[in-house]
Amino acid sequence: MAVSASCRGHRRGRFFLPLIALLALPTILVKWGRPMGFMRLSSGVYSSTTTSDKVAASRRAVVALAPSAVLGSLGQAAVGEEVAATADPYQGVAQFNGKPKVFVAGSTGELGRRVVLDLLRGGYAIRAGVRDDSRMYEVQYDVIQSRKSPKYDLTVVKNAFITAGQKAELEKAIGDSSVVIDCAGARPVFDVLRPNLYFDQSEAEKTDLNGTKALIDAAVAKGVKKFIYISAVLTNAKALGELDNKEYKQWNSFGKVLDFKHEAELYLQASGLDYTILRPAPMTNDPSNQVGGIWFGKPDTVLLKDGEVGYQVSRDDVSNACADAIFNPKASRGVFELVGASRKSPTPKEKWWDPNSNTKVSK
């Protein structure tokens, strides 16, 4: 009996030990992949970082470093699978796995790095624009810059400054991409390593207005097929008579960033490019389910007042919306406000871009 019990135990062990090892693998990878440290001191007006951010950041670093087998096991094929079916808008352009190549501006930012990794997991070839080498190391792009496989392809593009006078350089940075996703924006957070960026009141004008214009000009010159611009809610506050809106006042006090983003929106709309303008509410690194799931609104509907659908939106959701906008024709030439639906039902996926019927930004 003892022998047979031990055999059964051994057989169970043979089954369970690999299973336990398999289950523990993500944890081991997360611990192993945890970035060296979060050295930067941030206190954002509208940037929310949580404990789960660090775990999420670690997971993303691991995903970036992981071989394609691990990527597959994370079950992120949805983006790639969906887009493959409707590749028409990009016929004749340089492609990778039947998808257009994508240039991401501001790829080291909280949103930009999500967009990069989500698209890589969707099987895209990405050119990740970076302006500051030290940030590149922080998000571990230095390790992965030569990361290429049959399933995804990442090229890190250094010195990708989004600022006036950079059109020619930005054309080079865009390279053979036919989609640009502009996640760059002046940072309203104090960075102990770059304090000047916080105290220089002209940063928003330099980046969010003049830099965005330079990137748009470069995209036009390169024949880019789609320009996805991350703007923000309340950019049209002036026209809406919302100058006393306390959220607008606080947010815009950072170098008039919202006013400049609105000007950039208008410039993009007049550029002739196919565009999607996304106006997120204050973004958080919390996952979607903690802020209620994403809700799509018409322009000028989210004023961040009591009783509205919600107040903040998950960056994970905004990143998914960017990925969907690449191929979804309903996202074309539209402005969409994005907020987490803490008080209403989130927008079902098939209705994501429906507000397109009323999407012109008023002057």
Ligand X SMILES: NC(=O)c1ccc[n+]([C@@H]2O[C@H](COP(=O)([O-])OP(=O)(O)OC[C@H]3O[C@@H](n4cnc5c(N)ncnc54)[C@H](OP(=O)(O)O)[C@@H]3O)[C@@H](O)[C@H]2O)c1
Paired strand residues for 103: 127, 180
Which residue reads 């970036």 in tokens? 64
Q: Rounded to the nearest whole angstrom, what is the least distance from the CB of residue 221 to ligand X in the complex?
A: 18
What are the structure tokens assigned to 331, written together? Answer: 């996202």
Report in angstroms how near the CB of residue 110 gets to ligand X at its nearest. Answer: 4
Nearer to ligand X among residue 151 and residue 210 (C-beta) = 210
Q: Provide, rounded to whole angstroms, the least separation between the CB of residue 105 and ligand X.
A: 6
Indicate the residue among 90 and 182 with the shorter CB distance to ligand X: 182
* Nearer CB in complex with ligand X: 20/55: 55
* Residue 162 Cβ vs ligand X, minimum distance, rounded to whole Å: 4
Of 30 and 190, which CB lies nearer to ligand X in the complex structure?
190
Q: Tell the smallest beta-carbon distance from residue 178 to ligand X (Å).
A: 21
Nearer to ligand X, 109 or 346 (CB): 109
Q: Nearest approach, Cβ of 265 to ligand X (angstroms)?
A: 12
> 82, 224 in Cβ contact below 8 A?
no
- Which residue lies nearer to ligand X by CB, 29 or 170? 170
Question: Least distance (Å) from ligand X to the CB of residue 81?
Answer: 26
Beta bridge partners of 228: 181, 276
269, 360 Cβ separation under 8 angstroms: yes
* Residue whose CB is less far from ligand X, 273 or 322: 322
How far apart are the C-alpha atoms of 198 and 163, rounded to whole Å?
Answer: 16
With beta carbons less than 8 A apart as the criterion, state whether 347 and 341 touch.
yes
10: helix, strand or coil: helix
Distance CA 245, CA 189 (A): 22
Closest to ligand X by CB, 29 vs 304, is 304
140, two tokens? 């571990």
Instruction: With beta carbons less than 8 A apart as the criterion, state whether 234 and 251 touch.
Output: yes
Output the smallest distance, CB 345 to ligand X, in A: 22
Kindly give, in sequence order, each residue whose CB lies less than 8 Å from that of residue 362, ignoring residues fewer than 6 positions away: 236, 239, 299, 300
Buried b (16+ CB within 10 A) or exposed e, 152-182: bbbbbbeebbbbeebbebbbebbeebbbbbb
Closest approach, Cβ 170 to ligand X, in A, equals 10
- Contact footprint for ligand X (CB under 6 A): 46-47, 106, 108-112, 131-132, 135, 160-163, 183-187, 207, 211, 230, 232, 280, 282-283
**C-alpha span between 257 and 251 (Å, rounded):** 7
The answer to whether the CB of 98 falls within 8 A of the CB of 123 is no
Distance between CA 336 and CA 354 in Å, rounded? 9
Nearer Cβ to ligand X (211/340): 211
Euclidean distance between CA atoms 45 and 208, whole angstroms: 17
